[in-house]
Amino acid sequence: MSAGGTKALESFTGAKRFGPSALATPANGLSVLRIVAAPVLGVLVARTGPDSWLLWALWTVLSISDKLDGFLARRHGVTRSGAFLDPLADKLIVLAALAALVEIGTFSWLPAAVIAARELAMSAFRTYAARRGVSIPARPRAKIKTLVQDLAIGFAFFPPVGGPDPEVGRVLLWVAVVLTLYTGLEYALDARRTLRGV
């Protein structure tokens, strides 16, 4: 797009547009805040227990912030750094919550370990691809997986159905494990095709 066209677009939308290589964008700033919030969430879960209105409210805000992150990226322009930071923030928040819920005995270690292994492998692949100038955006089914993970953790925090034995949360967590393995296989196939072309 020409400089005149870019200025016209900014004037029409009221938002500055960033190129794909930009780092200092509103979406990236929100992603960094979400990354910083991950360990804070983990400590709060470990100290206050599983079912808490405070935890549920914080988890809801963090889950909604993911949608805001995506909105800001679309409004200001999708960047390669954003394609890495946004899913990284999602993973760290989920893993911090799962680790704390396992630590206090709310969730079993096995589903949490499966999810953690997949997420760490995916982050490593995104880092490897980014160094070669390749962006790996989230797939639609991976977004569904993230939603189910968010719901599982949210139900563990929600006082009316949470607590030390959150049956709904545990069922949803195993559904998330199935989606985690399936989408992990999809990304593995993508990785083979992507890296062959690099």
**Integer CA distances (angstroms), 54 to 37, 59, 116, 147, 195, in order:** 14, 8, 25, 20, 44
For the chain, the structural domain boundaries read 23-196
Query: Per-residue pLDDT for 183 more than 50?
Result: yes
Region label for 153, one of left (φ > 0), alpha (ψ between -120 and 50) or beta (otherwise): alpha
- Per residue in 29-63, pLDDT (tens digit) is 888 888 999 999 999 998 887 888 989 999 999 88
Of all residues in the chain, the percent with pLDDT exceeding 70 is 79
Mean pLDDT of 164-182: 89
* pTM over 0.75, yes/no: yes
Task: Give the CATH H-level superfamily of domain 23-196.
Answer: CDP-alcohol phosphotransferase transmembrane (TM) domain (1.20.120.1760)
Distance, C-alpha 142 to centroid of its chain: 10
Rounded CA separation 14/24 (Å): 18
Give the residue from 149, 48, 43, 29 showing the smallest Cα distance to 91: 149
Per-residue pLDDT for 198 more than 70? Answer: no
Please report where in the chains the tokens 């750094």 appear, as a residue.
Answer: 81
The predicted structure's pLDDT at residue 195 = 63
**pLDDT value, residue 9:** 39
- The first and second tokens of residue 141, run together, are 């089914």
Average pLDDT over every residue of 86-114: 90
The confidence score (pLDDT) of residue 186 equals 81
Question: Is residue 173 exposed (0-12), middle (13-18) or buried (19+ Cβ within 10 Å)?
Answer: buried
Is the confidence at residue 13, as pLDDT, over 50?
no
